[in-house]
Structure 1
Amino acid sequence: MLSAIKNKFILLLQLFLVMIYIIFEELIWEGIAKPIYETIHALKILQKLELKLQSVTPSIVLVIFVVLLAIVEAFGIYAGILFVSGQVLLGLTLYIAKIPVAAFTFWLFRVTEDKLMQFGWFKWIYDWIMKAIDWLKSCEMYMKTMERLVQVKMSLKAFKEKYFSGKSPFIEKMKRLYKTVKDALRK
């Protein structure tokens, strides 16, 4: 009995972690933050900053990174508090506002990773997080959820192509209907 409860609790925890990871990875990172990160990475001013960061000591890089990360995480936690307290629009606005800072922080991590990894405790935390993500991705629940997500994406893409492509019969009918209504209103 106790073993069954423990297994259900572990399964529920896995489901929670999988859903959180998918939301952050698929929706927030892939949909919003990654394009911002790529835009930030391409900015000439940041390419100059990247060169300057090569001459900065690892300790200063660490302080800058930790301060930015703390700000991003504090905004995320406060946005969550706003969501829970019923201020959904304000929470969403705050969460969206933090995404460019998070993308910049990620950029900073990528360009100074070698300096940050010089700190044993930092490297240990990073390795632990990567192992946790690998474990999560190896869970059957994650793999099945991702397979289903791929199917949903393919269905949405087929729906979009069928009804919203440039030569779609549906779109053509809507255009004709719009033109008919527009012509009728002119008379």
Structure 2
Amino acid sequence: MKILRPLEVALVLLYILFEELVWERFAKPIKQFIAMWLDRWLIKEIGRLHPYLILALFLLFLSVTQGFGFAAGIAFVKGMALLGAALYCAKVLMAGITFWILSANKERLFSVAWFKRAYDFVMMVREWIVTREIYLRTKSWIKKSAERLKAIATKWSTGRGQGRWRRFYTHLRRRFK
């Protein structure tokens, strides 16, 4: 089905971008830090809440997270890169908190039937994406490209190539002054 191919490619690229670059590098460590810091006292307090209140808290944090992402995108499009970067950092921090709430209270949240079905659907779509051939090929290509770029950067930053970086940087500074 060639009609669905562009959609499949877009889903794969978005998933790789989010999971590999954002989640694994930034949000997951933040979630782990938050879990260490908050597990001491907050998990007991949240655990006492009714499942619908926990769900409301989770959805509130998820909405704020998505709002930060939307605002960051608008800021980037309007040329306000610093504001966009700050909003995106706030989004990553909020994502860590949001997913901590989800992982710490998963059993309680799953007692709400529609939430369990929605979660299962999202996990089914995720599984569909990561088992696609295009996902596997794209991920392999990205890994090989990153290794090649690291090799080039290492070559240029050590030994003979070190002067090249300095000359290149000096050239760019003169060119754009």
- Using structure 1 for the length normalisation, give the TM-score: 0.77
Q: CA RMSD in A?
A: 2.4
Q: Which runs of 5+ in 2 are unaligned?
A: 165-177
Is contact 2:68–2:91 with CA below 8 Å preserved after alignment?
A: yes
Unaligned stretches of 5+ in structure 1?
1-6, 175-187
Q: Work out whether 1:78 is the aligned partner of 2:79.
A: no
Deviation at 1:163, TM superposition (A): 6.2
Match of 1:21 among 7, 15, 18: 15
Residue 143 (structure 1) aligned with residue 136 (structure 2):
yes
1:157 Cα deviation after fit: 4.7
Partner Cα separation in structure 2 for residue 87 and residue 163 of structure 1:
32
Deviates more, 1:22-31 or 1:82-91: 82-91
Q: Structure 1 vs Structure 2: percent identity of aligned residues?
A: 34
Alignment of 1:35-184 (within 5 A): 35-43=29-37, 45-159=38-152, 169=159
Q: Separation in 1 of the partners of 2:80 and 2:100?
A: 31
Query: In structure 2, what is the Cα distance between the partners aligned to 1:173 and 1:15?
Result: 40
Partners of 2:21 and 2:14 lie apart in 1 by: 10
Q: Distance in 2 between matches of 1:9 and 1:93?
A: 38
Q: Cα deviations across residues 110-149 of structure 1 (Å, max 9, x unaligned)?
A: 0000011011110011000000010011111101011112
The Cα of 1:162 is off from its aligned counterpart by 5.9
After superposition, the Cα gap between the structure-2 partners of 1:83 and 1:171, relative to the gap in structure 1 and judged at 3 Å, is: closer
Cα deviation 1:82-130 (Å, max 9, x = unaligned): 3334434322321122211110110010000001101111001100000
Matched, 1:34 2:28: yes
Which entry has the higher C-alpha Rg, 1 or 2? 1
SS in structure 2 of the partner of residue 151 of structure 1? helix
Question: What number of residue pairs does the alignment pair up?
Answer: 164
The 3-state SS of whatever aligns with 1:8 is: coil
Query: Residues of 1 paired with 2:112 and 2:17: CA distance?
Result: 30
Q: Deviation digits for residues 11-30 of structure 1, max 9, x if unmatched?
A: 11111111111110111111
- Checking the alignment, whether the CA contact within 8 Å between 2:155 and 2:161 is kept in structure 1 is no
- The structure with higher relative contact order (CA 8 Å, sep 6+) is 2
Normalization by structure 2: what TM-score? Answer: 0.80
